[in-house]
Amino acid sequence: MIDLRRIQGPPPIQDSPAAPQQQKSNVDFSEVLGRARAGLTDLKFSAHALNRMEERGIGLSSIELERLEDAVKSASQKGSKSSLMLLDERAFVISVANRTVITAMDSDGMKDQMVTDIDSAVIL
């Protein structure tokens, strides 16, 4: 039997595609809370959402917060009242009408969960 590797040489080495680098949130919970309380954002955060964010270590950079705000504006223009917004590895249920974050989940918190009482979903 002929060994094709001897004739053809070793197979070419293929570079595996690099995994996309995720933007880690460098903003801690206290900074998000401070911005929300100071009214430095168009979004409000319910006490429940702030609790969940603190418990689960969910932070938002200023860029991520802007992305959420823009998505809320867009959902509002399309007539949405309550929306599930997926941002990287996190999910936020937001009352679009009140511009209020109702709850927040990380990737672990989303497993085997059902979100009800929403009329739209936005993937950011």
CB 101 within 8 A of CB 92: yes
Tokens linked to 14: 């293929």
Is there a domain that residue 79 lies in?
yes
Let me know if residue 16 belongs to a domain.
no
pLDDT tens-place string over residues 107-122? 888 887 888 889 999 9
Is residue 9 in some structural domain?
Answer: no
Q: How far apart are CA 58 and CA 101, in angstroms?
A: 13
CA 64 to chain centroid, in Å, comes to 8
Tell me, yes or no, whether 102 lies in a domain: yes
Kindly report the pTM of this predicted structure. 0.69
* Residue 3: predicted pLDDT: 60
Q: Which of 23, 69, 16, 22 is nearest to 44 (CA)?
A: 69
Question: How many residues comprise the chain?
Answer: 124
pLDDT digits (tens, 9 = 90+) for 6-35: 666 655 566 655 544 444 445 555 666 666
Number of domains in the chain: 1
6 belongs to a structural domain = no
The predicted-structure confidence for 48-72, as pLDDT tens digits, reads as follows 999 999 998 888 888 998 999 999 9
* 81 domain residue, yes or no: yes
Domain assignment present for 94: yes
Q: What are 73-91's pLDDT values in tens digits?
A: 999 999 999 999 999 889 9
Q: What domain range is 30 assigned to?
A: 26-123
pLDDT of residue 8: 61
Q: What's the gap between Cα 8 and its chain centre?
A: 48
Q: 59 lies in a domain?
A: yes
**Is 98 in contact with 120 (CB distance < 8 Å)?**
no
Provide φ and ψ at 3, rounded to 5°.
-85, 105
